[in-house]
Amino acid sequence: MPEDRDERILVGVIAGAHGVRGQVRIRSFTADPKDVAAYGPVFDETGRRSLKLTVVGATKGGVIARVEGVDDRNVAEALKGLRLYVPRSALPEPEADEYYHADLIGLAVELPGGEPFGRIVAVQNYGAGDVLEIQPQTGGPTVVVPFTRAVVPVVDVPGGRIVLEPPPGLLDESPAPGPREVSE
């Protein structure tokens, strides 16, 4: 890949073969799924393997594409699970109040008073909007919070931090409820 590993963006993953002529199904992580092929060649995780994609159709959650040089199902199936990256420089700058997930992962999380809370370890979207997965600095299990202006009022990517306005109950130290007793 032409840039440092930290300067790349994951745009999709090959989900499997489609048909018998070497086409693949790609789960796209771009806003418009067909844009997975819009930024030039994609690269594997090592940055050494380059693939030229041509989108030929759509599927739920992604696209169907031809990979240059792949002409049969067996070769296409061998690509299953391959993560596809593009150089950061190939992507447009995000609009105001828009962020690439890659820019958020690793940011420090602070509470409104400036107290450190943890770090963002993942950004997920299960269909109802983005959520941030945060590893508290005290250890223990990660916490998941909605990525909304109410919960995350400050995003300072250049400063390497966000401010978390914890939803009610997030920081409660009370033990988790035990099993319920069932009366017969």
For 147-176, the pLDDT digits (tens) are 999 999 999 999 999 999 988 887 776 555
| pLDDT tens-place string over residues 112-148 | 999 999 999 999 887 778 899 999 998 889 999 999 9
What are the tokens at 62? 């992604």
Secondary structure class of 5 (helix, strand, coil): helix
What are the tokens at 180? 């319920």
- As a whole number of angstroms, the distance between CA 148 and CA 1 comes to 34
pLDDT at 1: 43
For the CA atoms of the chain, what is the radius of gyration?
20
Predicted TM-score (pTM) above 0.75: no
Q: Give the CA angle between residues 123, 88, 37 to the nearest 5°.
A: 90
